[in-house]
Each structure stands twice: as C-alpha cells, then as structure tokens.
C-alpha cells in the first residue's frame, strides 16, 4: 500500500455498469516522509474520504477486496484514512497537525 | 486507473478465440493535468469509446471484470468515458471544452 | 497489451510439469510507432506465432486466460498476430508492407 | 519477494472493515547486498515483525495468501523474518551480526 | 517470464506457515543477451535449481501455479532451468558452453 492525498474528483457518466455507484477520486501520491509527489492515480473510494485527506490506497486485484469494489473493474482503491505514521519514532505525518499544504 | 485518449485501432485477424468480438484500441496516456504523454497501451473497449475521446482504463486482472472482458486474455480495459476532472477545484479536463488537440 | 516481435526461442528441458507442451518465445517489445525497443520478455505462445512476426502479448494473470495457458505458471502470453495498427489515421505497422528489419 | 527493514508503524482508525485487526507497518526496502534503499512500502504484518527487523515481503495478489491477510484489501505482506542470506557464498546479511544501522 | 541466475540462498526460520518446506533462492536477473544485470529477486524454487544455474522465473499470481507454490504467499517462482536461447539464430546462452562467470 502507498500513501496518497485526495486531490480531486473524476466524473464519468458513460461507463461500464459495474462502475455504477462508485466514487472515483484523484489521488496524489505522498512519500514515506510525508512529502507530496507528482504521481497521481485514479482510485475508487471505499471509506468516504474527503478532499485533502491523506489515505492509504491499494492497487491490483487487492483493490477489489473491499465490500464496495468486489467484482468491479477498478485497479486502485482507497481503503483507509491515515491518522499518523512514524519512521524510527519520528512522526512523518499527523492528520491533526498537518499544515494546510498537506491537509 | 489512469486517463488516456483513444488514438488508434489495432487489427489482428489471427488470434486466440477468446479475443473474438473484442475491439482493441490504442490508448495514449494522459497525465493528471490533462497533458498527453508518450506512453501507449493497447486496451479492450467495454464502453464503445470513439477516436479522440478521453477515457479511464484499468490494468491487470481488473481488466477482466467488465461484462465484455470476463475470462478473456486482456490486461487493459477501457471502462469509462471521462466527462471532467479537477484538481483542487481547478478543472483539468472537460470533454465539452477540450481543444482539438485533446479531443 | 503491448506490441512485440518474435525474436527467438527458449529451450528448457527441466521444468515444472505444468509447462509441458508450451512453446516459449523471446519477444522484443515494439513501441506504438512501430519502432523496435531493447526490452524483451519471454512469453508462452497461444497462436502459433513465427519468427519475425509482430504480435500482441498480455502479462500478469491475464496471461493464463488462453486455452493453452490456463492454470500454468506463465506471466506473459502471445495471444494475437497483428495485421496493422494506426495512430490518428496514419498506419504505424502493416504486416504486408513492413520492411525486413521489422518482419 | 524483496527484502525490507521494519521502519515504522501506520495508524488508521477509519478504514474498510476488512482491514480490522491487521497491523500495518512501514517497510524500507533493502537491496540484495544488504544496503538500505530509499524505497518504502506499507505492508500488513503476518509474522509479528518488530521495529528494525529485516523481513521478506510479497506484493500483489500473493499478499493475500497468508492466514491473516486472506480476502483483505492489502497488496503487500510481511511473511518472513530473515535470518541470513548470501551471494556466491558471501554473507550479505546476518541478523545476529548486523550492525545497529541495519538492526 | 525473465531469465535469472541462481546466486544465493535465503534462510528465514520465523515465517508464515504457508512458506514451510519452500526453498527460497536469490535470483540475479540476466538480460536477453545473456548479460548479468544488477537486479535481484527472491523466488521460490519449484525445479530443484542449483547455484549458478540459469533459470526462467515468473512473477505475480502466476508464481502460485506450480504444484509446490499453489496457495502460498510467494510472488516469484523459478519454474524452469534453461538449456539455451537464441536471438535471430544467434545463441545468446547455452548451459553447456557458458563460461564460469555465467555458470
């Protein structure tokens, strides 16, 4: 899994019926040090993530293991909203103190 | 999932029987800012996408989750035609206003 | 899926029994403009592709969806021989007119 | 599979229910020569790995083959703690003699 | 599939029970011209490959299709020992004539 920040929404009215009801979000990858990168992926949302929130996303067949995405043609899913993570005891990201650029 | 623009068609008369009836399109990847890249993939079409349309495509086993591609040997599928997407509220692509280069 | 040119054959007499009877070919990737690249993959053949032919190959679990590769430990399969493809109406490859370097 | 060192922990209280009870760890990739790289992945823990331990992790659908991760939306799993490995007879890593930087 | 040379062994006594009995080898990737690269992967052995042998390995879910790896959390498997391969009729590798550096 990788970290990402919810950056935008994707609207697609003509689509495979198996995508009906799924919310598609644009996720900007965040590296392990909490720095935003320039890599993006479109992912289905399974947790009600909001704009600016930092999340975990999974790719490949694992993206179809949430209740909302089972059997659907999606290869990336947002399945958790991150509270915090640390590296060697140093907090790299905390949702309550992250600056506006991150939140 | 990633964004792409339908750029061409692929014709293959001798093929595995499980590919029969599938339309294979050449998709040129579009980045999150709506800029065309130089990366291409051949994908099966599940939504009747036309030349120049901007689409979403999925790869890997997820490409076999549409009704049209189930059980077939394809690792990329076009499963939605994109109307619009935005990043931090700024529209990056809109199918009704995209210039000719994009459309 | 990606384009490739059949460049060679691989012989392996000691192997997992599930590989028995499969023909393993060396495929040199061809880009969307019909230019040969320096990337290679070993793929199982499901269509009787011959030396020099330009083909489509699929990777990952999709490589196990042809009748010949079902349930076998292969992660790449040649499942179509390409006649032609075009980008924005311009033919990038045509099997009947491709020069010797390509054929 | 790849080598990695357990570097941190990830806390996510709002998540897909299928993630409940899983421990999510931040893994820093270690190359074949035992040198730490700057690549990270978030992986589910199936073996009770502790901070600083060098582990093996698997990605993709294989990450769902442990008893703890079966059917869950995770695309990376820690499934072994490494004692040692060697290249051409030369020990590249040994958990009992690794220096503090590695342990 | 890709070519690789068996370069070392990995010992892990504490691991997921589904790894029990599997031999884990360090594989150094070999390119299509028979040149050793600096890329390594840890793979499960399904054919009794020995140190220095040149093999074929598969990755992803295909790594679980051999009798020895079925249902196990491994994302790479060695499933064939290579005798020889050629590109455009020129032998790139032959196990009986390969020099010591390769064998």
Write out pLDDT tens, residues D9-58. 999 999 999 999 999 999 999 999 999 999 999 999 999 999 999 999 99
E62 contacts C63? CB cut-off 8 A: yes
With an 8 Å Cβ cutoff, the interface of chain B facing chain C consists of 7-19, 24, 26, 28, 40-43, 51, 60-61, 63-64, 71-76
In a domain, D69, yes or no: yes
CB-CB: which of D32, D63, D66 is closest to E18? D66
DSSP-derived 3-state class of residue D35: coil
Interface test with B, best of C32, C44, C55 (most B CBs within 10 A): C32
Q: pLDDT digit string (tens) for A57-68?
A: 999 999 999 999
Q: Chunked in runs of 10, what are the mean pLDDT values of chain E (103 residues)? A: 98 96 98 97 97 97 95 97 96 87 57
Pairing of strands C76-81, C36-45: parallel
In a domain, C24, yes or no: yes
- D34 CB-contact burial (10 Å; exposed 0-12 / middle 13-18 / buried 19+): middle
Residue matched to tokens 């899994």:
A1
D chain contacts of residue E73, beta-carbon cutoff 8 Å: 46, 58, 62-63, 65-66, 69, 77, 79
Q: Is there a contact between B65 and B71 (Cβ–Cβ < 8 Å)?
A: no
- Sequence-ordered strand ranges (E) for chain A: 2-11, 14-15, 24-30, 36-45, 54-59, 76-81, 84-87, 90-94
Q: Which chains touch D (3 or more CB pairs under 8 A)?
A: A, E
With an 8 Å Cβ cutoff, the interface of chain B facing chain A consists of 1-3, 31-32, 46-47, 56, 58-63, 65-67, 69, 77, 79-88, 92
DSSP-derived 3-state class of residue C64: helix
Range of the domain at D38: 2-94
Pairing of strands B36-45, B24-30: antiparallel
- Region B80-95 average pLDDT: 96
Structure-block tokens of residue C2 = 């990606």
pLDDT at B27 over 70: yes
In a domain, C102, yes or no: no
In a domain, B68, yes or no: yes
In a domain, E100, yes or no: no
With an 8 Å Cβ cutoff, the interface of chain D facing chain A consists of 7-19, 24, 26, 28, 40-43, 51, 60-61, 63-64, 71-76
CA dist B34 and A26 (Å) reads: 12
D62 contacts E16? CB cut-off 8 A: no
Q: Which chains touch A (3 or more CB pairs under 8 A)?
A: B, D
DSSP-derived 3-state class of residue D98: coil
DSSP-derived 3-state class of residue B70: coil
Q: pLDDT digit string (tens) for C44-79?
A: 999 999 999 999 999 999 999 999 999 999 999 999
A chain contacts of residue B86, beta-carbon cutoff 8 Å: 8-9, 26
Q: What is the pTM of this model?
A: 0.94
pLDDT at E98: 85
Q: Which chain E residue has its CA at the smallest distance from C12's CA?
A: E82
D chain contacts of residue E28, beta-carbon cutoff 8 Å: 32
Q: pLDDT digit string (tens) for A1-51?
A: 999 999 999 999 999 999 999 999 999 999 999 999 999 999 999 999 999
Shortest CA distance to D71 belongs to which of A79, A73, C61? Answer: A79
Residue D98 pLDDT class (50, 70, 90 cuts): confident
Q: ipTM more than 0.90?
A: yes
**How many domains does one find in chain E?**
1
In a domain, B99, yes or no: no
In a domain, A87, yes or no: yes
pLDDT at C100: 54
CB-CB: which of E28, E42, E63 is closest to D62? E63
D chain contacts of residue E70, beta-carbon cutoff 8 Å: none
pLDDT at E100: 54
CA dist C55 and A1 (Å) reads: 34
Shortest CA distance to A82 belongs to which of D20, D9, D28, D10? Answer: D10
In a domain, E63, yes or no: yes
E chain contacts of residue D83, beta-carbon cutoff 8 Å: 11-13
As a whole number of Å, the CA-based R_g of chain D is 14
Shortest CA distance to B32 belongs to which of A8, E35, D95? Answer: A8
CB pairs under 8 A between B and C: 99
pLDDT at D100: 55
Interface test with C, best of E44, E58, E76, E97 (most C CBs within 10 A): E58
The enclosing domain of B79 has a CATH number of 2.40.50.220
């Amino acid at each position: 899994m990788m970290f990402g920040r919810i950056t935008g929404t994707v609207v697609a009215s003509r689509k495979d019926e198996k995508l009906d009801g799924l919310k598609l979000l644009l996720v900007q990858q965040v590296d392990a040090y909490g720095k935003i990168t320039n890599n993006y992926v479109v992912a289905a949302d399974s947790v009600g993530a909001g704009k600016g929130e930092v999340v975990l996303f999974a790719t490949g067949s694992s993206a179809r293991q949430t209740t909302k995405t089972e059997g659907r043609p999606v290869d990336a899913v947002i399945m958790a909203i991150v509270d915090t993570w640390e590296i060697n005891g140093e907090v790299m990201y905390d949702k309550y103190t992250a600056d506006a650029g991150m939140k």
